Structure 1
Amino acid sequence: MVDGAVARVLVDSPLPQLDHLFDYRVPDRLAGAVQAGARVRVPLRTGGRIADGWVVELVDRSDYAGTLSEVEDAVSTVPVLTPDVWALARAVADRAAGNASDVLRLAIPPRYVRVEKSWRSAPGETGDLPAAPPPISGFAPGLLEGALARGERIALRVDPGMRSTPSGAWVGAWAATLAEAAVNVLASDRSVLIAVPDHRDQEQVEAALADLVDPRRVLRADARQSGAERYRSFLDATGDAARIVVGNRSTVYAPASRLGLIAIWDDGDPLHAEPLAPGVHARDAALVRREQSGAALVFAGHTRSVDVQRLVELGWVHELAPARPVRPRIVLTGRQEAAEPGSARIPSTAWREAQRAVAEGPVLVQVARPGRVPLMTCARCRETAHCAACGGTIAVPADGGPATCTLCGTTTSGWRCPVCEGTSLRAATIGATRTAEELGRAFPRAKVVLADGERQVMRVGSGPALVIATRGAEPVADGGYRAVLLLDGERMLLRESLRVAEDCLRWWSNAAALAAPGAPVHLVGVGGALGTALATWRQPDWAVTELEARRALRFPPAVRVASVTAAPDRVAAASDAARRAAPGVDLLGPVHLDDGLDRAIVRFDYAAGKAVAGALRAEAVRTATERRKPVAGRRPQRPPVLRLRFDDPSVP
């Protein structure tokens, strides 16, 4: 037992064996500098190293029986780690068998000394901010007001379409609804977190907020900011004033005083999935934070992800939709084997609509991929063509010539389809650049706008224009598009992924929502249940059917999965530990990877998540701490590897 000022510190390290709190004695020289939540530097006994860390709490005594090491130095006296963020980081890390320090690297931006000094000299106190705006009543759907006040978990269906702000900016109806909900919560002196997939969505939310609340009450949190700007926004969020924080997936970790609302727009977008360890999805982090804070939680979208549908069926999330829902005018256009001359593979009905609409305003043409290169498929069964030598996809080069493999360059001489034995190829899709060229010739009097990952176009005016955009890169049009053509639907569905249909329905729905009232939306070449769900604007019904299918097959999100990558013996040991941890755990694989590693997929029910995470975490610690004796005359062996990824989006 050690008495005196003791700092409990989380060391900033990726090593799993260091993922717990260490007690350090606070020396007299740092008595006033070491504060709970501040950054410090502490010694590690191994090799006399000094490591960075966060002070989680200060206590009067330690249960450690030996002599405590002293805190080496106080990096800063600003408490950047708030108790709420620490509790969230610890909980989501344990859920994913990861390190809390990895989560905190996502939650807390790198320190900028100049910004910190400026902020300390003139902090944004509550008295310096304008008063919170009055609450907004009657925003659609009207029942949302009461649900926010009660702190409910909500799956919100918003109306498609565009709305004009008082300042004249056009935004999606969804952005206006979330902005009104945020202002309603801010009026009660509570903070709001709004997480969106990318900067296009963020710009719409900020534009919708601009006329409702003073900009000083709104903070940004995204990768487009400089490091200094992001750190300043983070420091402002740690204050006592209620704020609205708008940004990408890491926004769910933002410090917020008296959190009242967490809103996630389009949670099915892959950009909400965190690629860095421990890989916790923004939706899962938001669910954990809601339980810790009691704030309202809103999953808003034009479609509903299968993950949220599972929560709705469990009664954990409540469905909320407009009393009089609005749906766009969607037309399912059958596949056309031979495109009309000059029509750029657009069926005649959609072609006539485009000709009429482009004289009145902008027309949106959504395509599957950028560039010029067309991807090839079998002409008989439409299976994607793969190279017989290496398995790469086959496409036509940008400079013309015969179709070749995109990986090894092998030509397609003698190609035969492994599915139907066909020998003929056809273009599955044409890139956005070539589509723009063809439509430019077909509509010589119309302005052609190309929008993709390289040419980012945020907005277009209300004048006549043909906007060729890849999925997810569609600009906002003033007043909405006069017609929308959704091409390459078959090509989009060829992607090998469990979520391909869900993603396509989301892409098409978001594009259709950009249409002006009454404007036609043509979905080309796709029918069946997916096309019907879009045409009737009943995407939740499709999510119900999809969830039932995945439940029958024990696919996510009906169950949870964890991927285990390591040497074969370690994969076997980790898999056995997971199966012993809880009943009902089963294993897929293992399969052999490069570098002598194997990968296995562990499937388990949600109720077994804590036990399985604990068992796999113990195996990771055991692997990391194993010591191998060096062998004379041989090079030192590479340290053993055991990589864990819970809820891996690439599985299956």
Structure 2
Amino acid sequence: MGERPVARVLVDSPLPQLDQLLDYRVPDRLAGDAVAGARVRVPLRTGGRIAAGWLVELAERSEYAGELSELDDVVSDVPVLTPDVWRLARAAADRAAGNASDVLRLAIPPRYVRAERAWRAAEPDPGPLPTAPGPVEGYEPGRVERGIDAGERMALAADARPVRLSSGTWVGGWARTVAQAAAHALAQDRSTVVAVPDYRDQEQLEAALADLVDPRRVLRTDARQTGPARYRAFLDATGDAARVVIGNRSTVYAPAARLGLVVVVDDGDALQSEPLAPGVHSRDAALVRQEQSGAALVLLAHSRSVDVQRLVGLGWVHDVPLRRGARPKVVLTEQQAAPESGGARIPSAAWREAQAAVVEGPVLVQVARPGHTPMLVCDRCREPARCAACGGALAVPRAGGTPACTLCGTRASGWRCPVCEGTSLRAAVVGATRTAEELGRAFPRARVVVSDGERPIVRVGHEPQLIVATRGAEPLADGGYRAVLLLDGERMLLRESLRVAEDCLRWWSNAAALAAPGAPVFLVGVGGAIGTALATWRQPAWAAEELEARRALRFPPAVRMASLVSSRERLGGALERLRGMDGVDVLGPTPVDDGLERAVVRFGYAAGAEVAQRLKGEAIRAATERRRPVAGRRPGRPPVLRVRMDDPDLP
């Protein structure tokens, strides 16, 4: 066995018992192709199956005393799994009590043979490095550059204004900041990895980078690309040239030569949270990668998340504020000297400003929900209107007309309230479509445009127009909006979630940052501490207060939480393994679907590694045990244990 090298392989499998390196003998026919990082196929003795995997490393000998099986095949000798990505995937999976193969499935795109052949045949030409990158503007001169050079962890307040590039393209100020930071790292022949929430942010960042960096040095990886294009960009990133790799949340795992900077933009956005197992947030993966690589880390947002504020409070991440004079002009309608009478959706002051502003350029109106009338209630008792056939919510279709069920589509032509016998309906929530119709009648000479999840608009021109957009779907306007109206604030705050106030402040801050310098931003119907934080542009101070409130209640991110779902018996065994650990307490269990139960475990960050290890062990036990045979029935497996660390769906 010492004559032939031993391949240590991670099998691509969701089974927790296979989340380890398995040893295989390298046959002579594969000796030249079996390199570390290659895709391979290996036999599994259980069932005689052939499984895919990654060859993590080669060793001279194996600690296994028995006879080793041979590698079945080397799919490709291209080393797609680099050592630093493997270390990151292993650490991220261990922190989340998950499988490293699940992380690598997100990090490494599927193979496309034609794209791989074209990449092999191409002559690498990444273009020149920037020779004299400009300063990172908006902060203390040289502050961000020094942090990048020192491998510092920094929380940056984003520049809250649109800026015009030398090419004439308008982008958010945050995009120029990231581009300038990436250019500084690239000038030192070091790579940058940037994770942004969605493709609209990617397009702004790509435009900002084009002003400072040779386009051949920029690699874009995201789900909107074709499979071959994404795989080709990934292969380019595995090379020796320093690059700027931009993409969505999984980009934090991208290979990068001599990594010098990792950037996560707007980490509080739900799109930065990975829904697939093991559910590692891009911010957490970036923190692990920074610690392993020594690269600098930048967490940039208009509204700081409570998670980042915790790290700032600990001194683990350093606060880098903007210089004064770069904040929007926010007006709280709740603090007007003469409050509005009645229930006007748009106060008179905001209405007058919108009338004057729409003559000069675009005006943004942010609403809570898409559709026409997405929620109806009884006009008499305010009971939510439900479908008589299936119990689903009633709403007015996009095209208008008779209310219909949002689930089964049944029209409610003869609806009657089951509580008060009323027959009239009224809108509890007005959607983007109906808002656009009402504004179109009020502003007959202005063009009205709707942007929502179904019909997103990336950018609009500087022409006079009214843009009605749902939260998160606001397009960028050339030169900025001449006025911004933030409607339905009270309704947004009614959503049942621990992070509802944090999310609302982030939505409003991102929308306010689209306003032109000096343009008014009206927050309608919301006051108090959250309204004051937006008006004074002191989101970090609000986040600090919110963190203290959560610390008193032992809510995330003051502590970590894990959700466990299984049968009552299996759940009891898992919770028993955590008994006696300091600072660990259990909420529940409570019943869920199909006879399963869920328990929530709270624990401190110091106990996180041990909690994850114990829960992973219990998941392996659950996956490998079998039920005792019952007469007349086939032996089956007990319900598996589903573990989700830092579950974002917990209320």
TM-score of the pair, normalised by structure 1: 0.94
* Inter-CA distance 402–77: structure 2 relative to 1 (3 Å threshold): closer
Amino acid at match of 1:129: G
| Letter of the structure 2 residue corresponding to residue 514 of structure 1 | L
Match of 1:603 in 2: 602
- Does 1:413 pair with 2:417? yes
Query: Take 1:499 and 1:391, find their aligned partners in 2: how far apart are those partners?
Result: 28
- Match for residue 505 of structure 1? 505
Cα displacement (A) at 1:391: 8.0
Kindly indicate whether residue 638 of structure 2 is the aligned counterpart of residue 634 of structure 1. Answer: no
Per the TM alignment, residue 197 of structure 1 is displaced from its structure 2 partner at its CA by 0.3
Alignment of 1:167-186 (within 5 A): 167-186=167-186
What residue number does 1:130 align with?
128
In 1: Cα distance, 2:383 partner to 2:201 partner:
33
Report the counterpart of residue 240 of structure 2 in structure 1.
240
Q: Does 1:518 align with 2:522?
A: no
Asked if the contact 1:362–1:463 (Cα under 8 Å) also holds between the matched residues in 2, the reply is: yes
What is the match of residue 157 of structure 1?
Answer: 157
The alpha-carbon deviation at position 640 of structure 1 amounts to 2.3
Using the TM superposition, name which of 85-94 and 627-636 deviates more.
Answer: 627-636
User: What does 1:303-318 align with in structure 2 at a 5 Å threshold?
Assistant: 303-318=303-318
Deviations 1:425-469 (A, max 9, x none): 863421111111111111111111111112121111111011111
Q: Within 5 A, what are the aligned runs for 1:110-149?
A: 110-124=110-124, 129-137=127-135, 139-141=137-139, 142=141, 143-149=143-149
> How big is the shift at 1:508?
0.4
Q: What is the deviation of 1:159?
A: 2.2
Q: 1:25 to 1:638 in 2, by over 3 A?
A: closer
- Structure 1: how far apart are the matches of 2:263 and 2:632? 60
**In the alignment, residue 495 of structure 1 is paired with which amino acid?**
R
User: Within 2, Cα distance between the matches of 1:423 and 1:312?
Assistant: 55
Deviations 1:580-635 (A, max 9, x none): 4x311100111101111000001100000011001100100001110235434325
Asked if structure 1 preserves the Cα contact closer than 8 Å seen for 2:369 and 2:430, the reply is yes
1:107 counterpart residue number: 107
3-state secondary structure, aligned to 1:261? strand
Q: Residue 137 of structure 1: CA displacement?
A: 2.4
Stretch deviating more after TM superposition (39-48 or 630-639): 630-639
For residues 332 and 385 of structure 1, the distance between their equivalents in structure 2, rounded to whole angstroms, comes to 30
Shift of 1:555: 0.6
Of 106-115 and 449-458, more deviation after overlay is shown by: 449-458
Check 1:590–1:75 CA distance in 2 against 1; reply closer, same or farther (3 A cut).
Answer: same
Q: 1:31 to 1:629 in 2, by over 3 A?
A: same
Could you tell me how far apart the structure 2 residues matched to 1:319 and 1:236 are? 34
* SS across alignment from 2:263: strand
**CA shift at 1:333, angstroms?**
1.3
Residue 480 of structure 2 corresponds to: 480
SS in 2 for 1:516: coil
Distance in 1 (alpha carbons) for counterparts of 2:578 and 2:629: 31
**Structure 1 position 359 matched with structure 2 position 348:** no
Encode CA deviations 1:362-388: one digit per residue, 9 max, x unaligned. 00011111110242479999x994769
Q: Which runs of 5+ in 2 are unaligned?
A: none
Tell me the SS of whatever aligns to 1:51: strand
Bigger mean CA deviation after superposition, 424-433 or 585-594? 424-433
Whether the aligned pair in 2 keeps the contact of 1:103 and 1:278 (CA below 8 Å) is yes
Q: C-alpha distance in 2, partners of 1:394/1:112?
A: 46
**Distance apart, 1:424 and its partner CA:** 10
Residue identity in the other structure for 2:429: T
Change (3 A) 1:545 1:633: same
Report the Cα distance in structure 2 between the residues aligned to 1:39 and 1:620, rounded to whole angstroms: 27
Q: TM-score, normalised by structure 2?
A: 0.94
Equivalent residue, structure 2, for 1:40: 40
CA distance in 1, matches of 2:327, 2:423: 43
Q: Which moved more, 1:140-149 or 1:181-190?
A: 140-149
Give the aligned partner of residue 295 of structure 2.
Answer: 295
Alignment of 1:74-473 (within 5 A): 74-124=74-124, 129-137=127-135, 139-141=137-139, 142=141, 143-334=143-334, 338=342, 345-376=345-376, 385=384, 395=395, 399-400=400-401, 411=415, 413-415=417-419, 427-473=427-473
Identical-residue share of aligned pairs (%): 69
Contact 2:136 2:181 survives alignment (8 Å): no
Deviations 1:105-150 (A, max 9, x none): 000000001111111122525xx53233423225221211111111
8 A Cα contact 2:185 2:260, kept in partner: yes
User: Shift of residue 346 of structure 1?
Assistant: 1.4
8 A Cα contact 1:378 1:424, kept in partner? yes
Partner AA of 1:101 in structure 2: S
Q: How does 1:573-588 map to 2 (within 5 A)?
A: 573-580=573-580, 582-588=581-587
Displacement of 1:69 in angstroms is: 0.7
1:638 CA displacement: 5.3
User: Contact 1:132 / 1:189 at 8 angstroms: preserved in 2?
Assistant: no
- CA RMSD across the alignment: 2.4
Indicate if the aligned counterparts of 1:432 and 1:470 stay in contact, CA closer than 8 A.
yes
Cα deviation, residue 578, structure 1: 2.0
- Give the secondary-structure state (helix, strand or coil) at the position aligned to 1:255: coil
Separation of aligned partners in 2, 1:200 and 1:45? 47
Note closer, same or farther for the CA distance 1:569–1:384 as it changes in structure 2 (3 Å cut).
Answer: farther
For 2:310 and 2:416, locate their aligned partners in 1 and report how far apart those are by CA, in whole Å: 45
Q: Distance in 2 between matches of 1:319 and 1:487?
A: 31
SS at match of 1:284: helix
What CA distance in whole angstroms lies between the structure 1 residues aligned with 2:551 and 2:257?
39
Structure 1 regions of 5+ residues with no counterpart?
417-421
Render the CA deviation track for 1:236-274: whole Å, top value 9, x for unaligned. Answer: 000000000111000100000000000111000000000
2:548 match: 548
Contact 1:387/1:412 (CA < 8 Å) preserved in 2? no
